[in-house]
Structure 1
């Protein structure tokens, strides 16, 4: 099957259980799948695609089902975790490969870790950005989230009610996204926690106003907002609406470790990292193949966009450890 050059990214559609998945690929070499989180798209990896391609990898950034140009099934339960694992397997097959390394951020990290857990025959290593690995099991997720926040409501519970978050976001997608990105980025974080909603309020009530984080240009925001203005938010939000289904579907994997070689990178100012500090401490048992773990001081949630050069360096160092030394097809062994 023809592959892309290290120079030009290529957009393509491939078949999957969702119907079709849109992806952007660049480079030749060992396959690395890049999985974005909420509320993003393949575009979250725009800084990593050329860097990984130049380092000798076939980098593929996927629009997860429900996002961008990928299919958006109407049924809520079509967004359960095992369906997303099946999508990742379908991408590997459609690209003519037998295995891949997974790199995920935010929800993409959880999708990547679960894919590695369920299909170790296909996914030989996994890098997790922002959200640590926590094995399946424990209390029912909706019950846990309902107890969080005290008099306020945790954002996951807010997202889980069909139509509720859509009614807040869709009248002003661009403005909402700008505020959400700013609220979770190191240089624009507000003083009050944006993950909680006052009773009768909106999530955006605590977002910064008229400020963009340093990593997000107006043109970048146009790209990100344009996708959601076209697709709506329901496909993306349906991921949150399947967490109890995932808990049931993955019951046989309760407490199971991910044993493949792994990497974790978190932001020192990211709530995803600080809330789940116990999960990071448990890595010797839950990620026994962990080769490196990094907490980036002064970094927020959107690691690969806030600190692209640092993330690229850490990923490439880890990939060379996992895949062995590789060289770009258009460069000799002296390339760095």
Structure 2
């Protein structure tokens, strides 16, 4: 709770009870609730530029640590990180904050989590903003069957590389800070490998993901102090909870089978980076938005922007988010 001397606009940290056990969040501002969900490998801190901007615009912004990350609980079982569980965590956060509904905004895996939350609980999540990863309805072939064919005999797609418990951890754990710096740089507009260089989304057979990370300075959006924050969290928690999200993709495919092909009807917004592989590879999903996101207000591709869009281009993302929220004419419940 906020102390009597603490202004309503100050950043506040708290934990709430969810099916995960304990879930940490940082919140700022008062007004209609906007729930912010990060991706891999990040934390609530990924929304550090959006929290004050949303608060200044008249919203109560709450950025969570997804289960397995930061100060939130880290269940031991791999299958405790399936999508259905993460959605129920989000519902519990809304209730714990004393609200009946919220707008949910997610980036990277958080975009998938936000979309699933809106799909499964339309009465709780009245609008959804999706950053970097486009919405594709549940369905299609089993994910690992598709992923296993990517890359051919000489290399392996990074999502497949993450599937085996302990494999990626063995690469990352000896130098968490260095690995994170390389991963962030590999997907940032100003430091990503040039066209024709080895693609850091793939691992050479028998190699490591970090073998294809760019060498050189940090991306412009990431200071040494920012990197210290991220590294400090993962040096404390390890990466297994975060990686377990990837290890539940087939379970999610089975769990969400009743919703195959289902659109998200609520008001929605998409923002992607024009240089982000997520937007390039999923261009067909963006083209399908008139069917899959019938409530879409706008779809934006930011030129010369990579994957970490709300950190690479915070002012533009803040403007798009606050304009979209204002158009929804939200009121506190």
User: What SS does the aligned partner of 1:24 have?
Assistant: strand
| Distance of 1:173 and 1:148 partners within structure 2 | 27
Larger displacement relative to structure 2 (149-158 or 226-235): 149-158
Runs of 4+ residues over 2 Å off in structure 1:
1-7, 323-326
| Distance of 2:247 and 2:202 partners within structure 1 | 17
RMSD: 1.3
| Distance of 2:7 and 2:252 partners within structure 1 | 38
Correspondences of 1:29-68 after superposition (within 5 Å): 29-68=31-70
| Unaligned residue ranges in structure 1 (runs of 5+) | 327-336
User: What SS does the aligned partner of 2:23 have?
Assistant: strand
The structural deviation recorded for 1:211 is: 1.7
Name the CA shift for 1:269/1:259 in 2 (closer, same or farther; >3 Å).
same
User: What SS does the aligned partner of 1:12 have?
Assistant: strand
Correspondences of 1:167-206 after superposition (within 5 Å): 167-191=170-194, 192-206=198-212
User: What SS does the aligned partner of 1:147 have?
Assistant: coil
Structure 1 counterpart of 2:120: 118
Is 1:211 the counterpart of 2:217 in the alignment?
A: yes
Tell me the TM-score normalised to structure 2 length: 0.96
Partners of 1:92 and 1:98 within 8 A in 2: yes
Structure 2 counterpart of 1:253: 259
Structure 2 counterpart of 1:241: 247
Structure 2 counterpart of 1:331: none
Structure 2 counterpart of 1:319: 325
Partners of 2:9 and 2:30 within 8 A in 1: no
Partners of 1:184 and 1:300 within 8 A in 2: yes
Equivalent of 1:128 in 111, 127, 130: 130
Partners of 1:5 and 1:27 within 8 A in 2: no
The structural deviation recorded for 1:302 is: 0.2
* 1:45-100 residue CA offsets vs partner (Å, 9 max, x unmatched): 00000000000000000000000000000000000000000000000000000000
The structural deviation recorded for 1:325 is: 8.4
- Across the two proteins, how many residue pairs are aligned to each other? 326
Partners of 1:5 and 1:28 within 8 A in 2: no
User: What SS does the aligned partner of 1:295 have?
Assistant: strand
| Distance of 1:322 and 1:74 partners within structure 2 | 40
| Distance of 1:142 and 1:270 partners within structure 2 | 22
Structure 2 counterpart of 1:9: 11
| Unaligned residue ranges in structure 2 (runs of 5+) | none
Tell me the TM-score normalised to structure 1 length: 0.95
Equivalent of 1:310 in 305, 313, 316: 316
